[in-house]
């Protein structure tokens, strides 16, 4: 339905709700710029597609609602938009561990309530058609997440007790919180560690206590999130970027080419059917973990630092299984 037709539909609806038994000619005159024939088509659309209880009264020569309480949906969606909305509800599960989830779920529920009775998300049987494999989620304390997000939005310094995994006790830290990043089932805070005088990343689930200071800060004008993390791969803080080259065997070359693994990726087909994937990143640890997931079907070619780390990791693994 075009926007102009949608506007007319609401206009006609309002006129019918007001009573007065307007005719198609009268409605065309009130709207201006359309014929009575166009108005009749709009009325047919209302009746046939939106189940509007419209009848024509011959004695009064006009249309009326047989059910005065009828109301059209506050908004309408195309079939494609409705399907996208249904998929979005499935994907929404990835955000259950954030305080945003209840609000997002409420928005979806409000949309569903306002859809017309003959077309709704449940009628699509979306759960029978589509499933999503979600990353294992880390439990986030809403009493921690809320002040963290508040500090980010208001640019206020925070004082936290942070649980470093390798220590049994917490560490006190003062932070200028810059950004919140969602990554693989967890939520992270990136900002300036005042005591260490460096940009760092903190897993929000490891923040055990938090206090908001009244003191505010300004994010440096030259701060760029992608100078420290790689939104295509991971959130390990690193400012040095490397040119990565991975050679995949012919057995998986087709699978690798099907996907976008990195924003600046480049593929090169090799004569033996294998495939070379190159990209630039500051996430060597994530690259190594991902490469290892392909087992014997990938060879790390460069950078040398990554090759050395791979060899060392393989050596330690062989000791475990030796």
Boundaries of every domain in the chain: 3-65, 79-129, 142-223, 242-321
pLDDT for the residue numbered 82: 66
What pLDDT does residue 123 have?
46
In tens digits, the chain (322 residues) has pLDDT values of: 444 777 888 899 999 999 899 999 999 999 888 899 999 999 998 888 788 899 999 999 999 999 988 887 655 665 566 667 667 767 777 777 777 777 777 777 766 665 554 454 454 455 566 777 777 778 889 899 999 999 999 999 999 999 988 888 899 999 999 999 888 778 999 999 999 999 999 999 999 999 999 999 999 999 988 888 877 777 777 778 899 999 999 999 999 999 889 989 999 999 999 999 999 998 898 899 999 999 999 999 999 999 999 999 999 999 998 7
CA nearest neighbour of 42 among 72, 82, 20, 74: 72
Amino acid 246: pLDDT: 97
174 close to 127: Cβ distance less than 8 angstroms: no
Question: Is 242-321 assigned to CATH 3.40.30?
Answer: no
Residue-level pLDDT at 1 = 47
Structure tokens at 261: 């693994």
Which uninterrupted H or E stretch holds 202?
strand 198-203
Residue 112's pLDDT is: 63
**Neighbour tally for 206: CB within 10 Å:** 18
Q: Which CATH number fits domain 142-223: 1.20.120, 3.90.550, 2.30.30, 3.30.70?
A: 2.30.30
CA–CA separation, 43 and 37 (whole Å): 10
Same-fold call for 3-65 versus 242-321:
no
Tell the CATH topology of 3-65: Arc Repressor Mutant, subunit A (1.10.10)
């Amino acid at each position: 339905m075009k926007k102009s037709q949608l506007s007319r539909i609401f206009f006609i609806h309002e006129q019918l709700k007001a009573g007065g038994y307007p005719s198609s000619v009268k409605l065309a005159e009130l709207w201006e710029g359309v014929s009575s024939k166009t108005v009749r088509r709009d009325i047919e659309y209302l009746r046939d597609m939106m189940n509007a209880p419209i009848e024509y009264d011959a004695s009064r020569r006009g249309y009326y609602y047989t059910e005065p309480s009828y109301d059209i949906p506050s908004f309408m969606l195309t079939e494609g938009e409705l399907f996208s909305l249904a998929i979005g509800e499935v994907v929404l599960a990835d955000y259950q561990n954030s305080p945003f989830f209840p609000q997002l779920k409420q928005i979806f529920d409000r949309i569903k309530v306002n859809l017309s009775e003959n077309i709704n998300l449940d009628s699509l049987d979306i759960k029978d058609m589509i499933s999503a494999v979600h990353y294992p989620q880390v439990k986030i304390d809403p009493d921690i997440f809320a002040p963290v997000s508040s500090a980010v939005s208001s640019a206020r310094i925070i004082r936290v007790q942070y649980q470093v995994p390798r220590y049994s006790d917490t560490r006190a830290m003062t932070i200028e919180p810059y950004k919140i990043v969602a990554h693989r089932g967890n939520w992270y805070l990136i900002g300036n560690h005042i005591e260490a005088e460096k940009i760092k990343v903190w897993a929000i689930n490891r923040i055990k206590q938090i206090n908001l200071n009244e003191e505010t800060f300004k994010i440096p004008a030259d701060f760029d999130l992608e100078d420290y993390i790689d939104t295509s791969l991971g959130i390990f803080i690193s400012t040095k970027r490397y040119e990565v080259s991975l050679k995949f065997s012919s057995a998986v070359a087709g699978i690798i080419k099907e996907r976008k693994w990195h924003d600046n990726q480049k593929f090169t087909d090799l004569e033996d059917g294998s495939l070379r994937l190159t990209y630039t990143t500051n996430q060597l640890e994530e690259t190594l973990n991902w490469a290892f997931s392909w087992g014997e079907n990938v060879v790390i070619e460069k950078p040398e630092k990554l090759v050395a780390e791979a060899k060392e990791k393989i050596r330690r693994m062989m000791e475990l299984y030796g």
